[in-house]
Structure 1
Amino acid sequence: MQALVQRAMGVLAQIEAWLPPAPPAIDWTAQAFRWQRRGARGWLDAVHRIAPIHLDDLQHVERQKSVLERNTRAFLEGKPANNVLMTGARGTGKSSLVRALLDAYGAQGLRLIEIDKSDLGDLGQIIELISGRPEHFIIFCDDLSFEEGEAGYKALKSALDGSVSSPGDNLLIYATSNRRHLMPEYMHENLDAQHQPDGEIHPGETVEEKISLSERFGLWLSFYPFAQNDYLDIVNHWLAFHGCTDSQIQASRPEALQWALERGSRSGRVARQFARDWAARQL
């Protein structure tokens, strides 16, 4: 009998060696967190080195900035606030706005939890972890979109609006996407008067199901490509940030336009990339 017990203990020790380590204790002093998963275990990993950006650094998105800032202030003050979906042109400041809000309101109790789309099925665990905390948390998912059958789709719908349990007053979901309805749509789905090859009897209801997720975000903010002068304004801002003189900034104009032309985009991201390159060469 003793030999059998020892053998069982040995087997258990081998199994334990293969299990992922226990999640570390959460460092609630941090202002930002990243949801991490290893095997069956997930935890909030504190982020202490946050990429710096300020609200004043984001140019020519004044309307979107004011709406998002107003919603976030209401959230921090305990007033009604909405989940937010930001869609539109790439590189126009959607993700940067969320990080800039943390810079502006972190001292007032705002906290940010970054989560990958593939881990959205863990939203229930995250809600349990932050339930009852005095801070106000924004769960942030960047470049959100879904393909057919992805598991996180249903979990996000439930967390936004539809679950019998409340996510609490200290949680909002902010997401960015280049796709307004978050899932692909096809021309044949609009032909609901015809029989479909896949046997779907009510294809119109399939379309409604796809649209319903984005409708659960209370605020939609759209971002658009910048005009040429707007793009140059952003370039000038970042060149001044890096210490370039007025004469150097004026001399950069032709190269800034060529830089945007080569990349096929006049976005804020392209403007900042050019400013880094130009400033490095001039300084």
Structure 2
Amino acid sequence: MDHALSPLLIRIAEALERLAPPAPAPADFSAARLFRHDPETGGFHPAPDYPLSLDSLVGVERQKARFVENLERFAQGLPANHVLLWGVRGTGKSSIAKAAFMAVGGGYEALKLVEV
């Protein structure tokens, strides 16, 4: 490399370092059981525990049982399936996921839920 270009390239590299956004702080997953992901910063923010109990969701008994069974298998490190919940807005997809997590997650310290 040409030695005359070296100081210029160093200045450019230093300027790029100053312009780059700071690296996100490492996530502290011991701070909570529920987290929200912030896509702008890439960070994970603790969220309060979900207050709705799984028993409060009525009319979806079979779905709740299958969801909890699958989540418990996942938490125990056993084979488990991915879960796809679909439906129009307001049908309880997030509620069943969070309520099932709160019902199962208390027995597994390492199990965390991240809302994306």
TM-score by length of 2: 0.73
Shift in alpha-carbon separation, 1:15–1:78, aligned structure 2, 3 A: closer
Larger C-alpha radius of gyration, 1 or 2?
1
Distance in 1, matches of 2:39 and 2:86, equals 27
The equivalent residue for 1:191 is: none
**Per-residue deviation, residues 184-214 of structure 1 (Å, max 9, x unmatched):** xxxxxxxxxxxxxxxxxxxxxxxxxxxxxxx
1:56 corresponds in structure 2 to 55
Instruction: Name the residue aligned to 1:271.
Output: none
| Structure 2 gap segments, 5+ residues each | none
Distance 1:79 1:104 in 2: 18
- Answer 1 or 2: which has greater helix percent: 1
Classify 1:48/1:34 alpha carbon distance in 2 versus 1 (closer, same or farther; 3 Å).
closer
Q: Does 1:84 align with 2:86?
A: no
Q: How does 1:126-275 map to 2 (within 5 A)?
A: none
**Percent of residue pairs identical:** 36
Find 1:31's aligned residue among 28, 33, 50: 33
Normalising by the residue count of structure 1, what TM-score does the alignment of the two structures yield? Answer: 0.34
CA deviations 1:108-141 (Å, max 9, x no partner) are 22211223xxxxxxxxxxxxxxxxxxxxxxxxxx
Show structure 1 runs of 5+ residues with no match: 116-283
Shift in alpha-carbon separation, 1:64–1:83, aligned structure 2, 3 A: same
Q: 1:150 maps to which residue? A: none
Output the CA distance in 2 between the equivalents of 1:90 and 1:36: 21
Letter in 2 for 1:32: L
2:66 maps to what in 1?
A: 67
Q: Matched residue pairs, number? A: 110
